[in-house]
Structure 1
């Protein structure tokens, strides 16, 4: 036999939920303002190409990725519309912006000059979006450099300043004073070049789209909200008005073994958990190799027969155990859900993130990029 069997561990992506989320966020955006869909990080673990297609089905025609290789993959997969490359590029990669019609976000003079040179050789013009650091201390020129950089772009042939971009550092907090401060910094910088700049402005991320719509300018850039989550980790805030955003990812497996152990039995490495009664265990083929964090040991829950049950002992590389003593009839091959719904119960990425001391973004990326994915409509 040459066919390779599938893993028991499956990430199921609801593409209809992704489309719903784009349309829901789009409904919050005023007419004439664009909404870019971030699909970096392999679509936050959901599959970059499939996520882009789902958002396109909802009307999206502008996408954002981190690296150039992601943009090329989108184009090679038939994704149309504008694709922004957010974190720069290497010198030997510059030609891809022209061959694959990609939009560069720039923040160094070297990259601007290089794109100018390549554009002149091709007898064409390329639009650039200049990034301003409005408080992240990450990529971007300082606000007081914007005039210098705008003039530099204006003096070079083959390049046009088509946009000014920045990024909020705490828009996930609806009560954030830093968001208004950062927007003032950004707006003041844009104001300095308003006599020569006629392009678009974009700074609003998911948190700003949900919490600070007045900062949308000509375009918003949504990320985590498109995948069904509020950036502040509060499920109640994952909504636009009365319309809820829908988490699109489910992580499930099949129980590999059911066994009973007596009271006083240590479970897994180090015996960090010892049973206090006769205990039935479900052994499942999920571990940190599959992106399920080891720090969840003795903290996590899993859904079996629609009931939340605790994970006992240390999570291994490929296995973990759960207490099913209170559930009758559990058998080998039954579904166990680590993320998503089963019956009337649900475990969200926010739930997992809270126990792991992280954020939903990381959980989605780890699980989605470490397991086989199945996309359903």
Structure 2
């Protein structure tokens, strides 16, 4: 079968290495491997297989549909639905044995009614907003909601969670304050000794940077895929420096051509050649997740060396100035993300060119291209 020359490569060995590195930071905590958003663009099912083989105790996803896909693929570990669940999806929770995260008290009674009608008890976790300001109940409201859940015969409160907003910024001190407030609240409830009960707050940044945040379970995300939570340089001085990027993105030169000085390149002629210029044309564009904002700023690897992207990125084409690289020809491999020879381009670097974060880069490239697994 014919396939695009553009492909995302994902290293299973890098995924396993990163999982092990996270595990070693918090050896007494269970690991909920975050595989939401198609495993940050790396392919949910295959990544889940790798993490399951490494001993992941649970998986975290955003939506019910992702949890259903994991169950249909044969995964038996607990699957947590972290972004909340609407009543339309309650049936699937029971059919596929999924664990909902309740973000407030709104659906406590409706979920209890559904559970009672089916005669099935369901585990739930409660998300509290300990400082993220995004989702969850206020710390002050948690005791009342916990009491309401406890009064429901068919609901079992199996855990309470929160999320660090600035774990990638240890100097702020906010994570330590949030952890302290979270533990003070949960200790006051007297639930932490209950059988099967777990507290969890640590994301990737917390695992590597917030001492004592491992608690009963941790939720590594971006670190599983090889990047520190705060971008390039944020993991310095911690074990996060040992993370291995799992994704590469490659293409091949579709045309090599020479243009004279004074030639305008691409839409809008944002780049005008100042000399006779050799160009490599790549069949890559914003359709492939290589966004227009990378024009005139990004670099790619050819023949093991860096070369600048010139002109605007088109829907399906990108121009690269290879004048300094010698005899670049059609068919030569181009690496837009990853390593070639001694050089490498990281998602953090691409994110800087795009003025975004590595998470978005990985999701875009993984969602827009075929994935090939290596190792």
TM-score by length of 1: 0.95
Does residue 284 in structure 1 map to residue 282 in structure 2?
yes
Call closer, same or farther: CA 1:235–1:46 in 2, change over 3 Å: farther
Equivalent in the alignment of 2:315: 317
Does residue 11 in structure 1 map to residue 13 in structure 2?
no
Q: Which of 177, 181, 191 is the equivalent residue of 2:187? A: 191
CA contact (8 A) 1:13 1:248 kept: yes
CA contact (8 A) 2:103 2:137 kept: yes
Call closer, same or farther: CA 1:354–1:335 in 2, change over 3 Å: same
CA contact (8 A) 2:300 2:309 kept: yes
Equivalent in the alignment of 2:152: 156
In the TM superposition, residue 242 of structure 1 has moved relative to its aligned partner by: 8.7
Cα deviation, 1:177-228, whole Å, max 9, x if unaligned, reads: 1111221221222123116872211011000001013111111110000000
Summarize the alignment of residues 195-206 of structure 1 with structure 2, pairs less than 5 Å apart: 198=194, 199-206=197-204
Q: Which of 313, 330, 333 is the equivalent residue of 2:331? A: 333
Q: Which of 85, 89, 92 is the equivalent residue of 2:88? A: 92
CA contact (8 A) 1:94 1:114 kept: no
Q: Which of 341, 344, 349 is the equivalent residue of 2:342? A: 344
Secondary structure of the 1:150 match is helix
Moved over 3 A (4+): 238-243
Does residue 53 in structure 1 map to residue 54 in structure 2?
no
Please give the alpha-carbon distance, in whole angstroms, between the structure 2 residues aligned to 1:52 and 1:250. 19
Equivalent in the alignment of 2:66: 70
Secondary structure of the 2:106 match is helix
CA contact (8 A) 1:9 1:251 kept: yes
Secondary structure of the 1:298 match is coil
Secondary structure of the 1:95 match is helix
CA contact (8 A) 2:7 2:249 kept: yes
Please give the alpha-carbon distance, in whole angstroms, between the structure 2 residues aligned to 1:269 and 1:92. 46
Q: Which of 167, 173, 188 is the equivalent residue of 1:171? A: 167
Cα deviation, 1:281-309, whole Å, max 9, x if unaligned, reads: 00001111111121111000000010000
In the TM superposition, residue 259 of structure 1 has moved relative to its aligned partner by: 0.4
CA contact (8 A) 2:199 2:215 kept: yes
CA contact (8 A) 1:25 1:240 kept: no
CA contact (8 A) 2:30 2:57 kept: no
Please give the alpha-carbon distance, in whole angstroms, between the structure 2 residues aligned to 1:256 and 1:360. 27
Equivalent in the alignment of 2:359: 361
Secondary structure of the 1:321 match is strand
CA contact (8 A) 1:64 1:83 kept: yes
Please give the alpha-carbon distance, in whole angstroms, between the structure 1 residues aligned to 2:256 and 2:191. 72
Equivalent in the alignment of 1:107: 103
In the TM superposition, residue 235 of structure 1 has moved relative to its aligned partner by: 4.9
Cα deviation, 1:283-336, whole Å, max 9, x if unaligned, reads: 001111111121111000000010000000111111110011111221101110
Q: Which of 206, 209, 217 is the equivalent residue of 1:208? A: 206
Call closer, same or farther: CA 1:318–1:170 in 2, change over 3 Å: same
CA contact (8 A) 1:210 1:240 kept: yes
Does residue 143 in structure 1 map to residue 143 in structure 2?
no
In the TM superposition, residue 243 of structure 1 has moved relative to its aligned partner by: 7.0
Call closer, same or farther: CA 1:242–1:180 in 2, change over 3 Å: closer
In the TM superposition, residue 20 of structure 1 has moved relative to its aligned partner by: 1.1
TM-score by length of 2: 0.96
In the TM superposition, residue 238 of structure 1 has moved relative to its aligned partner by: 7.3
Secondary structure of the 2:19 match is helix
Secondary structure of the 2:278 match is strand
Which piece of structure 1 moves more, 101-110 or 338-347? 101-110
Q: Which of 19, 34, 41 is the equivalent residue of 2:37? A: 41
Q: Which of 73, 76, 83 is the equivalent residue of 1:80? A: 76
